[in-house]
Structure 1
Amino acid sequence: MTLSILLVLALLAAVVVVFAFEWLPVDVTTLLLLAALVLLGILDVEEAFSGFSNDIIIILASIFVLSGALMKGGVMDRLGEAISRAAGGSQTRVLLFVMPISSVISSFMNNTTTTAVLMPAVLGVCRRSKISPGKVLIPLAYASMLGGTCTLIGTSTNVAASGYVQTTGLTPFSMFEFLPVGFAAAVAGILYMVFLGHRFLPQTREGAEHEGEDIREFLSEVVVTSGSPLAGKALRDSNLAQMGLQVRAVLRGERRIYAEPYVQLEEGDVLLVQASREGLLQVKDTAGIEIRPDVKLGYEDLVSETTKIVEALIMPGSALAGRTIKELDFRRRFGLTVIAIYRRGHTLATKISGLPLRAGDVLLVQGRPDRFRFLADNADLFILQEMEHQPARRRKGLWAVGIFLVAVAVS
């Protein structure tokens, strides 16, 4: 065994240890390994950096760009909502919907991205259908891996193999050359998991129920806008329940109407709803209804730049406690808009603008990213969690799908 081989093995062992203990970021570790190979004379500079111009790198980068376009265009979110509506309460039906869709998407997208995008919708289906999440999430991951074997770009392993074959002077693999074997494996894997494999998966129902208890249900106000398809429909005939919105009351002018299933909605009605943060974000992308603060702000204020959604906790001893959002003139004071309130252990059913705040209340607030810098040193509010909301853009989503299909066709 030569000295060069010993050095390479030693470097690989060191890199594995650093990866395992996460002492450094993965990309930094990789670049340090590359630099060490050059400095030790094992590789010259041209050999070390030749891989960056390889077709494999360009293909993988393009896949991430296409995946990002589909996500930013709202395509993946819409698909997740469709799965949630169509799957129903049967575990077998849920698997029959989730696994094939995951396999098809992961044939053209990164497996990890596919699983991450579909996971929130799948968890929502499990929660509503009282299905153990472990019985569905594991098959979801398996399906994304099986789908990745169907095309050249479905997994980086196929791309790397094709690149190596090309360096030997042979013809590289075509886009769908893996399809016959990959499709057969995917179908067999899906059928096995749907009808037999799920029986061997762990039951996580108790953990799911405990997790469900901690999911914050915010109180918010939703307006039935002019021309809304919900106008004239009874509450029981609307899709509000499917969106995860529990209507507590209907405010019509000065009247307060109890939310009976037969109550017909009218344009201009204000609905007091209780929903998770994800359910409220879905309202922002649904035609015919708007979160009430959104109506006051106007469309241009919302889409002129990226909007941040933040959970902010009212701290003990806060000067905000005991006062309402209206009394505080919250938007003028902080440059942010409160769109919902959560109070642990209480079912709230009053207008949020007139609800006196308490220590421990969690406010769901939205605004421009620069406005949240002012909360960093604020003793009255503490940021718990934040997320970036990208409004659904149907036209851009269609463009992303079109470009995606053209890329697949020409390949």
Structure 2
Amino acid sequence: MSIAIVLGLLLLAIILFAVEIFTVDVITVFILICLCLFKIITPKEAFDGFSSDFIIILAAIFIMVGALKKTGVIDTFIANLVNIKKHPPKVILFFVMIISALTSGFMNNTTVTALMLNPTIGMSKQSGTAPSKMLMPLSFASILGGTCTLIGTSTNVAVSGYIAQQGLTRIGMFDFLPIGLILLGVGMLYMMTIGQLLLPVNSKEDLEEDYSVRKYLSEAVILENSPMIGQKIADSDISKQGFSIVSIIRNKQNFVPNMFTKIQLDDVVLIKGNVDDLLKIKDLDGVEIKADLLKLDSEENELHLAELMVIGGSETLRNTVERINFRQKYRLGIIAIYRKGKTISEKIGKLRLKVGDLILVQGEKESIDLIRTNENDFIILEDYKPNLHLKRKGIFTIGCFALSVILGSTGILPLSIAFLLGALLTVAFKCINPEEMYDEIDWRLLVLIGGMSAFGIAMTKTGADKFVAEYIVKIFEPMGAYGILGGFILLTVLLTQPLSNAAAALVVLPIGLQTASQLAVNPLTFAIAIMLSASVSMLTPFEPSCILVYGPGKYKFLDFVKVGGLLTFILMGILVMIIPFFFPFKV
């Protein structure tokens, strides 16, 4: 009966994770409560996962990476990539992929992709190459770079922590580096050859639609002194400036005007135009972009423009601009909104935000910097030069990070203590303040990992892991140990589609370890296979770093299935062949 309860809760968790009605931390806590209510595990066992040292390691990494983002030193380093723009496109692509991979070996791959997005688009434009030929390779390289080190992904850290809890040998910082380098090398070779043949090529019209000439929707308000009052749409100054008038909001009514419609006082005219043209609206008498009418509490400070991209997991998704109180929450005025492939005719305040929407905002530099340091809702698509003071702090933070890696990987200090020391130094020397420190930690991910570790205990106590392991062995036993290993790799890859990579790995891991025990083989062979297979799943654009390039690259869903699917199956085959070589079945 207890096995049925645990497996039923596992199935329920997978469904809830997939449909995303609730956040992953809420689902995890709910599952833990159920396990305690059914007396499958004790309260102590439920919370043991949260006291593990790998939770400390992840939190410390979040803090140091947050400090690096705040100082902008990584932004500057990556922005300097444009210096290689004179090289052939293949050379540029190689540099983009190798730098992305090397950086993501020590940083979150989503952050790396976000930082490199603009420079990569700039280089592709300057080299005459379609952005679609470079952006998907960028995201894939950042994902594969995480397979090279223990701290490359949260999945690696979580798996290492779990197997240590089971009394097995803890995975070292660079123990699987050779495997990661092989995966990265194959992935880069694939994306520079076969991938280039399969990737779509944007048409000339698509290439024109880059960040500088993108057609945004904006709201222009007709003021009392406007000479356009009484003018016909076709003869109005707005039309003469080359704007497309989408609709007019008059007396709270939204309608599509014809060429004979006359403009009236207080009309809100929804217009489409690129960024440069929108700013020229200021030169027209009696017309203002609606954001300019907002009081930002400080008129003496210089106002800046920035483009924000709405990302997956953002709390703003499916909410309207008015409902989220955008101006009050972020202290930024929205000038315009762009949505790829859609003609927007709604009032901006009534528009429900979606992943990939681009928002042109105006506000003080401090408000824009705040968005930059907290990338939970948006990423900024702009160049940024940090001041010298912040640059010094950024270099100091890199030093702290490097010190943590050296102390932890050489065994001078336990890994958790080494990274905790690095995080403490960044806070002590004010590279990041305490309030920002707590904001940078992804608490939802920590709750997920801690909770799923407890779920692994429940599977072991009830024998659910043994039950499932026997079933999997029965199916794949005719193919031998390699076949069974391949079955677990395939299962993990498939589960990463509805689940996060970390959740998928922690669901499969207890079953894999039990299977290794039944086969009397090295449990590390299965643990490493499950861990790395969670990071090579590129079947769909659901991975956060893939979502970031989905819109700018103008990809279709099937582009990822075609290009990423083939690469995923190639990498799965390589994992089956090389993992037993580096981590033999027989110890």
Q: What TM-score, normalized by structure 1, do the two folds share?
A: 0.60
Residue equivalent to 1:389: 368
Question: Is 1:47 matched with 2:42?
Answer: no
Structure 2 counterpart of 1:25, one-letter code: T
Residue equivalent to 1:95: 93
Normalized per residue, the structure richer in helix is 2
Q: Pairwise mapping of residues 3-402 of structure 1 onto structure 2 (< 5 A)?
A: 3-88=1-86, 90-205=88-203, 208-209=206-207, 211-212=209-210, 215=213, 313-318=218-223, 344=273, 356=285, 358=287, 372-373=327-328, 385-386=360-361, 388-390=367-369, 392=386, 393-402=390-399
1:353 offset after TM fit, Å? 7.6
1:45 offset after TM fit, Å? 0.7
Report if the CA contact (8 A) 1:312-1:385 is conserved. Answer: no
1:73 offset after TM fit, Å? 0.9
1:4 offset after TM fit, Å? 1.7
2:407 to 398, 406, 410: 410
DSSP 3-state at the match of 2:171: coil
Report if the CA contact (8 A) 1:99-1:140 is conserved. Answer: yes
Q: 1:15 to 1:214 in 2, by over 3 A?
A: farther
Deviates more, 1:14-23 or 1:344-353: 344-353
Q: 1:14 to 1:178 in 2, by over 3 A?
A: same
Q: Distance in 2 between matches of 1:206 and 1:358?
A: 34
1:72 offset after TM fit, Å? 0.8
Report if the CA contact (8 A) 1:66-1:400 is conserved. Answer: yes
Report if the CA contact (8 A) 1:312-1:364 is conserved. Answer: no
1:99 offset after TM fit, Å? 0.5
Report if the CA contact (8 A) 1:92-1:195 is conserved. Answer: no
Report if the CA contact (8 A) 1:133-1:205 is conserved. Answer: no
Q: 1:353 to 1:113 in 2, by over 3 A?
A: closer
Report if the CA contact (8 A) 1:320-1:357 is conserved. Answer: yes
Structure 2 counterpart of 1:126, one-letter code: S
1:69 offset after TM fit, Å? 1.2
Q: Distance in 2 between matches of 1:91 and 1:8?
A: 53
Report if the CA contact (8 A) 1:102-1:140 is conserved. Answer: yes
Note the alpha carbon deviations across 1:50-73, whole angstroms, 9 max, x for none: 101112211122222122111111
Structure 1 counterpart of 2:108, one-letter code: N
Q: 1:353 to 1:154 in 2, by over 3 A?
A: same
Larger RCO (alpha carbons 8 Å, 6+ apart): 2
Note the alpha carbon deviations across 1:31-52, whole angstroms, 9 max, x for none: 2122222222222111111101
Q: 1:13 to 1:167 in 2, by over 3 A?
A: closer
Normalized per residue, the structure richer in strand is 1
Residue equivalent to 2:236: none
1:100 offset after TM fit, Å? 0.6
DSSP 3-state at the match of 1:316: strand
**Structure 2 residue ranges without an equivalent (≥5):** 229-270, 302-326, 334-346, 350-358, 370-384, 409-587
Q: 1:406 to 1:319 in 2, by over 3 A?
A: farther
Percent of residue pairs bearing the same amino acid type:
37
Q: 1:345 to 1:72 in 2, by over 3 A?
A: closer
**Structure 1 residue ranges without an equivalent (≥5):** 218-310, 324-341
Q: CA RMSD in A?
A: 4.0
1:137 offset after TM fit, Å? 1.6
Q: Distance in 2 between matches of 1:70 and 1:375?
A: 24
Q: Distance in 2 between matches of 1:410 and 1:102?
A: 25
Note the alpha carbon deviations across 1:114-138, whole angstroms, 9 max, x for none: 2222223222333443422222121
Report if the CA contact (8 A) 2:212-2:274 is conserved. Answer: no
Note the alpha carbon deviations across 1:246-281, whole angstroms, 9 max, x for none: xxxxxxxxxxxxxxxxxxxxxxxxxxxxxxxxxxxx
Aligned length: 294
Q: 1:43 to 1:107 in 2, by over 3 A?
A: same
DSSP 3-state at the match of 2:210: helix
